[in-house]
């Protein structure tokens, strides 16, 4: 488990850029492509029961967010997951992508991500304004009562900082390469 200091090092700072392959389009995606857009980055897993519990949520919300100019980027940094596994999970759950393969886990390290799913909200000017859990559920099969991600998106859309800008991520540990 990381210390609060290392986990919070990005809050208010410019989000680290990346260039990663998209397993769905077979092109490359960088954070620079989101310049001027509110962006949600989720560190995601094709195998994690925690990530799977949120796949429908992301499939539905990605389309709604896109209409509002919000971009969802899913990044898989697990060393034990292949592009084919990611593609299959995306097809089964209707995940729109991009789904990026961080094969060497360098992007997860740059963000100090430790779990899947773990989210980061990036403001239109490229700063990290939220990092942590999607909601307050304590087990993947339970429903959350407080959606931290939605609160962070709303605050960022209004140009404010979320009340809870950092929460403890829940989920399965990223398997680093």
How many structural domains does the chain have? 1
Owning domain of residue 15: 4-173
Percent of the chain with pLDDT over 90: 93
Q: What is the pLDDT of residues 132-172, one digit of tens each?
A: 999 999 999 999 999 999 999 999 999 999 999 999 999 99
Buried b (16+ CB within 10 A) or exposed e, 82-114: ebebbbebbeebebebbbbbbbebebbbebbbb
Average pLDDT estimate for 53-81: 96
CATH number for 166? 3.40.30.10
Q: What is the predicted pLDDT for the residue at 3?
A: 41
Tokens of 11: 């809050």
For residues 90 and 82, the answer to whether their CB atoms sit within 8 Å is no
């Amino acid at each position: 488990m990381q210390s609060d200091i290392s986990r919070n090092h990005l809050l208010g700072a410019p989000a680290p850029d990346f260039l990663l392959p998209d397993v769905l389009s077979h092109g490359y995606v960088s954070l620079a492509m989101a310049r001027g857009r509110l962006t949600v980055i989720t560190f995601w897993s094709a195998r994690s029961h925690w990530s799977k519990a949120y796949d429908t949520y992301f499939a539905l919300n990605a389309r709604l967010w896109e209409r509002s100019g919000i971009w969802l980027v899913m990044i898989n940094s697990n060393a034990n997951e292949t592009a084919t596994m990611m593609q299959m999970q995306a097809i089964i759950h209707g995940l729109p992508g991009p789904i990026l393969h961080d094969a060497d886990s360098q992007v997860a390290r740059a963000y100090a991500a430790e779990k899947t799913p773990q989210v980061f909200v990036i403001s239109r000017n490229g700063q990290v304004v939220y990092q942590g859990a999607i909601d307050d559920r304590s087990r993947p099969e339970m429903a959350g009562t407080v959606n931290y991600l939605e609160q962070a998106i709303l605050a960022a859309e209004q140009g404010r900082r979320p009340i809870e800008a950092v929460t403890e991520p829940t989920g399965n540990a990223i398997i680093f390469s």
